[in-house]
């Protein structure tokens, strides 16, 4: 493999004799990265592009899939679950920002952990996050299927007792993978418009609903008890709905393409968490004010549509249905793209075969990595287990988040020469320490099934590393 040429000798090789490839040293140059051979890599994503990746990835789940499920578990206190999620996400977003400005490279969390802690934790996270994103994508696709089914129901199309949700999710998954394989011109621009439209619909809806719930129009609704099921479900629900916050780290996976990463990366990550956090908490507040949590729960994945109908009638329901379609679709698409980037990052470091990073010149797309994203997604969509899919995705991401916090503390304790972040977390030990503990803690509140699946994936990843790439060293290899 040509990839092995000119590598530092200490990086090691995998079973196929491939060594990690260094394309370019990480720099925080504003507009380009320059490779060792002098080729320039243009940075093309600005701040708004970064925020739209973050928000676009996250918003699909929290508002359009979870309200019914969460209210069913925790009652109105589900708003608290979302708030807990937001706080944990912020605690992780700050250390992630620092690491990303020090190493603005494609690969995100995997890259930081493998460089900060070494190849084994890196490999576990890298492979887990690929599968974690696959679980997340499957979850969004099932959500999308639910919305299409709801649209069909709204339009009066009788599907009888045929279960349409899963076949629709499968079709859409295959369609998105194909779309990305054959190149999507201006996908990011479309994503930005979609996110803008979504935010507009939501702000109107939540503004109206919020005022209504507070009693501005008509009488204030009588809230049921805040936490009818006690405190424990608030935490287990936080573990479930944490999937709604997975997107901010996706901003770091495109770090190599972000202009002026020292400024834009931290801003985009923190801003997207804050934006979606506020929207989520408000949504749950509005939803639980409109209906009791039992009623919400019975509406299932599309509960928010009934909430909109309650406020603004059929028009509202249709607007929210459209928003739900857009949001779940944009989340699914963004996750497929992140998956392919995750596969690339791991394969570049010889932890997966180099062929996984191949791209074809005709369409300019990484076809192997996209297939490795789309294929397993379809299998998982077929299971239709929304909650398990969401929790496993969260589990695997939380492991990465926890380790990123640990990596930050480790790097700061003994700063390597190359470590020069543009953004430094204030009181980093406290922030990263609490972030790591909270991430680990959230995992404990998940269903046993999800915990077992997540643990098995991590063990399998470690096993793969030992089998295939145990000689590969990545700590401090830039």
Judged on CB neighbours under 10 Å (0-12, 13-18, 19+), 19 is buried
CA pair distance 38, 278, nearest whole angstrom: 44
Residues β-bridged to residue 33 = 41
Among 165, 168, 357, 411, binds other proteins (CB under 8 A): 357
Closest to other proteins by CB, 283 vs 340, is 340
User: Closest Cα partner for 253 from 176, 335, 138?
Assistant: 335
DSSP annotation of 30: S
Token pair, residue 396, equals 């695997």
27 near other proteins, judged by CB under 8 A:
no
Compute the C-alpha angle 23/25/30, nearest 5°. Answer: 110
37 near other proteins, judged by CB under 8 A:
yes
186 near other proteins, judged by CB under 8 A:
yes
Among 14, 18, 20, 21, binds other proteins (CB under 8 A): 21
Count other Cβ atoms within 10 Å, centred on residue 181: 17
Backbone angles phi, psi at 147, to 5 degrees: -70, -40
Containing 137, the helix (H) or strand (E) segment is helix 119-154
363 near other proteins, judged by CB under 8 A:
yes
358 near other proteins, judged by CB under 8 A:
yes
Give the range of 76-84, 320-328, 334-342, 396-404 binding other proteins by CB under 8 A: 334-342
Positions in 420-459 near other proteins (CB under 8 A): none
Letters for 145-184 (x = contact with other proteins by CB under 8 A, - = none) are: -----------------------------------x--xx
340 near other proteins, judged by CB under 8 A:
yes
CA pair distance 212, 311, nearest whole angstrom: 8
Closest to other proteins by CB, 25 vs 215, is 25
Closest to other proteins by CB, 187 vs 382, is 187
CA pair distance 367, 180, nearest whole angstrom: 9
Closest to other proteins by CB, 98 vs 349, is 349
Number of residues that bind other proteins (CB under 8 A): 43
Token pair, residue 285, equals 């507040």
Site of interaction with other proteins (CB under 8 A): 2-3, 21, 23-24, 31-33, 35, 37-42, 44-45, 105-106, 180, 183-188, 254, 256-257, 337, 340-341, 344, 348, 357-359, 361, 363-366, 370
């Amino acid at each position: 493999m040509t990839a092995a040429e000119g590598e530092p000798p200490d990086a090691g090789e995998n079973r196929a004799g491939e060594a990690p490839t260094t394309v370019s040293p990480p720099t925080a140059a504003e507009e380009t990265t320059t490779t060792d051979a002098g080729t320039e890599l243009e940075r093309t994503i600005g701040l708004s592009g970064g925020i739209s990746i973050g928000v676009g990835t996250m918003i699909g789940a929290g508002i359009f899939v979870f309200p019914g499920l969460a209210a069913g578990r925790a009652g109105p206190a589900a708003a608290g679950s979302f708030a807990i999620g937001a706080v944990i996400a912020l605690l992780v977003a700050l250390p992630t920002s620092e690491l990303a400005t020090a190493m603005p490279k494609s690969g995100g969390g995997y890259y930081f952990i493998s460089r900060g802690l070494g190849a084994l934790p890196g490999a576990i996270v890298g492979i887990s996050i690929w599968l974690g994103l696959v679980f997340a994508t499957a979850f969004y696709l099932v959500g999308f299927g639910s919305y299409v089914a709801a649209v069909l129901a709204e339009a009066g199309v009788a599907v009888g007792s045929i279960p349409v949700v899963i076949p629709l999710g499968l079709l859409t998954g295959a369609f998105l993978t194909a779309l990305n394989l054959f190149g999507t011109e201006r996908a990011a621009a479309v994503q930005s418009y979609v996110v803008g439209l979504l935010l507009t619909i939501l702000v109107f809806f939540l503004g109206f609903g919020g005022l209504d719930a507070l009693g501005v129009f008509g009488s204030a609704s009588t809230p049921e008890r805040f936490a009818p099921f006690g405190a424990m479900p608030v935490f287990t629900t936080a573990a479930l709905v944490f999937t709604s916050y997975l997107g901010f780290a996706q901003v770091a996976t495109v770090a190599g393409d972000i202009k002026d990463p020292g400024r834009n990366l931290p801003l985009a990550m923190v801003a997207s968490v804050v934006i979606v956090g506020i929207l989520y908490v408000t949504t749950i507040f509005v939803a639980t004010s409109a209906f009791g949590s039992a009623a919400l729960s019975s509406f299932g994945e599309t509960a928010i549509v009934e909430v909109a109908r309650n406020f603004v009638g059929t028009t509202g329901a249709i607007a929210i249905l459209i928003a739900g379609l857009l949001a779940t679709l944009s989340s699914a698409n963004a996750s497929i793209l992140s998956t392919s980037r995750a596969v690339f990052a791991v394969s570049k470091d010889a932890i997966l075969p180099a062929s996984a990073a191949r791209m074809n010149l005709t369409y300019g797309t990484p076809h192997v990595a996209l297939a490795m994203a789309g294929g397993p997604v379809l299998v998982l969509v077929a299971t239709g287990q929304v909650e398990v899919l969401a929790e496993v995705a969260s589990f695997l991401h939380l492991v990465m988040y926890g380790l990123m916090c640990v990596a930050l503390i480790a790097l700061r304790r003994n700063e390597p020469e190359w470590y020069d972040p543009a953004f430094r977390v204030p009181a980093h030990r406290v922030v990263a320490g609490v972030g790591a503990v909270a991430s680990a803690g959230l995992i404990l509140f998940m269903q046993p099934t999800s915990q077992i699946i997540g643990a098995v994936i991590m063990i399998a990843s470690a096993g793969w590393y030992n089998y295939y790439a145990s000689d590969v060293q990545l700590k401090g290899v830039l």
